Structure 1
Amino acid sequence: MGGGCFIQLTTVAVLFLSLTSSVLSCPPSDRAALLAIKAALNDSYLGIFNTWTGADCCHNWYGVSCDQETRRVADINLRGESEKPISNNAHRTGYMTGYISPAICKLTRLSSVTISDWKGISGEIPRCISDLPFLRILDLVGNKISGTIPPEIGKLHRLTVLNVADNLISGKIPLSITNIKSLMHLDIRNNFISGPIPRSIGRLRMLSRALLSGNRLSGTIPASISRIYRLADLDLSRNQISGSIPKSIGKMAVLTTLSLDLNKISGQIPITLLSSGISDLNLSRNALEGNIPNAFGARSYFTALDLSYNNLKGPIPKSVSSASYIGHLDLSHNHLCGQIPIGSPFDHLEASSFVYNDCLCGKPLKTC
């Protein structure tokens, strides 16, 4: 083979390898966006960004995953409390400061963003995040993020998980959130979110968990919640919610946990709640009044039933004994009166379940 041919073959090989490498690498624009995200965050403890080097951000960049066909960045998964070791500082939780750069919005093929449990990340959620058409998961739990939930969050029509719990977020729940028909998990616990729950929340038909506790939510419980037929866990505790409990909530097909404690809820306990499929019911520390409905039956199965710290009066209904199971029962700090029924579940309950009522008597309290 002549020297000229060898040079030509070598040139072709180099070009082929170069083209192959460029095809298999992430686009320079995605790499630049990731480096801008890195520049806005300060990880001086675990050093996870030490892996963000080289031309190909799809290869061995910690927490970055790419689509196999397009080589576009599809997932960012950075957890401060990771289950797998990040570096030599394994088995120790991470701490990161800085903010989430708006450059994240240039990663237009993102499917999931998890930047959670870093405790020190502040700033706001970039409003442009609502423009990521393929985003399915947004998980920013456990930081110091402030500002509001982006008002146009409803544009994320593929979103299934929105988790911004344990931050410093304020403002209201955006009305547009009820446009996300795919939303399955909503967690905004422990923030400073105020205002009412959107009346149209019932449009979120795929929602299975709605965790809204520990905020400053006010107004009443929207009756439309009962139209979310997949909802299994509803937590509105530790807010400033008032008004009565919609009777229709007790008719929800798969609701098993209902936490409304530490609010300003008034009115009577709906009969439907006591013969529903709810197994963990906490209505404590409200302003509920009237008698406890005598509506327990074979469908009543409670691992925990807490009605303490209300204004309930009258006797303990005898039908409680016909419930199929009651594990924990707390009726303390009310205005109940009369004899505590005999038999299950009362034979395994302690005095603390009944104290601070007007005139309850019988075991485990004093005899009548």
Structure 2
Amino acid sequence: MDNSKTTTLLLFMFLFTLLLTTSLSKDLCHKDDKKTLLKIKKSLNNPYTIISWDPKDDCCSWVSIECGDATVNHRVTSLDISNDELSAQIPPEVGDLPYLQTLIFRKLPNLTGEIQPTIAKLKYLSFLWLSWTNLTGPVPAFLSQLKNLEYINLSFNDLSGSIPSSLSLLPKLGFLELSRNKLTGPIPESFGSFQGQVPDLFLSHNQLSGSIPKSLGKLDIYRIDLSRNKLQGDASMLFGANKTTWSIDLSRNMFQFDLSKVKVAKTVNQLDLNHNGITGNIPVQWTELSLQSFNVSYNRLCGRIPKGGDLQRFDSYAYLHNKCLCGAPLQSCK
């Protein structure tokens, strides 16, 4: 190879390396987002999880952070701080990340205080996960202002008060998880008329009381868990042969209704009714179900357990302590 070709090749390689280096070193992070994130870090007392955040680096490369593409000018779209012993409250500055779509504070046992009201400023927020913390106060009604919310998980906290009826106004909500708190009062009547799709409902391990709104029976809920509350009355409206329900857990409440005429959707895979005051017998139609988990113990059921399907696949513990159930896997009927 002659000298001119060698020189040209070396020059090309130099320019390519320079271009690549310049591209990699370019700070994509918006300066306002970086300032806000550094304030959040300070408010959280520089926790170990995000101690590596260095103002000299591109914040889009920081751990626990994701940025959008060029269409949103590489603004911060996700903040996920989890699994840390930090002692603080949710920083109010989270509301100053205007393009945030995902906000996660999870498994932070020393995170205290109420859910920060500045979250109401996050108009693009679609995913909110605040769980396994020591957050107190109410489930905030301002969440209903965030019309892009698709997922809300506030489980395993110390939240109290009633469930805001305005949550039913969220047009895109597909998942609502409020389990393992200290919530009181009834299930909102408005939950029978969600503005958009019908979300999966997880309200277990609270202190909810009263009857289930009848309007809730008109909905086709894929997964619903109302277990371990103080709910009472008729819950049969939640069932229906023409629905697409996959999982239903009503265990450890005070429901009273006749099970004899209850038809369950063939899609049901998990069914738990234990520790209630349910009467009647187990319908033969239930032999058509493909069940992964099943429990009707501690009720007032009577009659022969229908043979067939998966009903005999479960041991006696799924049927114990009823008034007069008999047949496999219990004792034979006389």
Cα offset for 1:169?
0.3
* Pair 1:187-2:153 in alignment: yes
- 1:352 maps to 317
Match of 2:198 in 1: 231
* SS of residue in 1 equivalent to 2:128: strand
SS in 1 for 2:320: coil
Secondary structure at 2:192's aligned position in 1?
A: helix
Q: Does 1:289 align with 2:256?
A: yes
Q: Which residue of 2 aligns with 1:206?
A: 172
Q: Which residue of structure 2 lines up, in the alignment, with residue 52 of structure 1?
A: 54
| Map of 1:333 onto structure 2 | 298
State how far apart, in whole Å, the 2-side matches of 1:247 and 1:292 are.
Answer: 17
Secondary structure of residue in 1 paired with 2:279: strand
What displacement does 1:245 show?
1.9
SS in 2 for 1:332: coil
Task: State the 1:72 CA deviation.
Answer: 7.6
1:290-317 deviation per Cα after TM superposition (whole angstroms, max 9, x unaligned):
31151316x3322111100111122223
Q: 1:121 to 1:353 in 2, by over 3 A?
A: same
Return the TM-score normalized by structure 1. Answer: 0.74
Is this contact kept in 1: 2:36–2:93, CA < 8 A?
no
Residues in 2 aligned to 1:257 and 1:138: alpha-carbon distance in whole angstroms: 24
**1:271 and 1:293 mapped to 2: Cα distance?**
13
Query: CA contact under 8 A between 1:53 and 1:61: conserved in structure 2?
Result: no
Deviation at 1:173, TM superposition (A): 1.0
Residue matched to 1:96: none
- Tell me how far apart the structure 2 counterparts of residues 192 and 328 of structure 1 sit (CA, whole Å): 29
SS at match of 1:345: coil
Matched ranges for 1:71-90 at <5 A: 74-75=75-76
Residue 249 of structure 1, aligned match among 216, 219, 244 = 216
| Offset, 1:221 | 0.9
Q: Give the drift of 1:123.
A: 1.2
Equivalent in the alignment of 2:246: 279
Question: Could you say if the C-alpha distance between residues 73 and 37 of structure 1 is closer, same or farther in structure 2, counting changes exceeding 3 Å?
Answer: farther
> Paired residue for 1:134, among 99, 107, 112?
99
Q: Which amino acid in structure 1 is aligned with residue 257 of structure 2? A: G
Per-residue Cα deviation, 1:263-311 (whole angstroms, up to 9, x for no partner): 00100122342432211111000001131151316x3322111100111
CA RMSD in angstroms, aligned pairs only:
3.0
Residue identity in the other structure for 1:283: L
Give a deviation string over 1:75-97, Cα, whole Å, max 9, x none: 3xxxxxxxxxxxxxxxxxxxxxx
Q: Pick closer, same or farther for the CA change 1:246–1:300 going to 2, 3 Å.
A: farther
- Give the aligned partner of residue 135 of structure 2: 169
Deviation by residue 1:22-61 (Cα, 9 ceiling, x = unmatched): x944576665555554552142xx8x6457263x435854
Checking the alignment, whether the CA contact within 8 Å between 2:64 and 2:81 is kept in structure 1 is no
Answer whether contact 1:235 1:259 (CA < 8 A) is retained: yes
Per-residue CA shift, 1:118-172, capped at 9, x if unaligned? 2x12211123433443221111111121100123533322110111111000100
Distance 1:286 1:59 in 2: 48
Does structure 1 retain, via aligned residues, the 8 Å contact 2:192–2:214?
no
Please state how far the C-alpha of 1:223 moved relative to its aligned partner. 2.8
Give the distance between the partners of 2:35 and 2:59, measured in 1 at CA.
13
Question: 1:196 and 2:178 equivalent?
Answer: no
Matched, 1:319 2:320: no
Instruction: Identify the match of residue 363 of structure 1 among 294, 313, 328.
Output: 328
Identity %: 32
Give the alignment partner of residue 217 of structure 1, picking from 183, 195, 210.
183
Q: Are 1:41 and 2:6 an aligned pair?
A: no
Match of 2:232 among 266, 269, 278: 266
Structure-2 separation of matches of 1:157 and 1:209? 18
Q: Which runs of 5+ in 2 are unaligned?
A: 1-21
For residue 337 of structure 1, report the CA deviation from its aligned partner.
1.8
In the alignment of these two chains, the number of paired residues is: 306
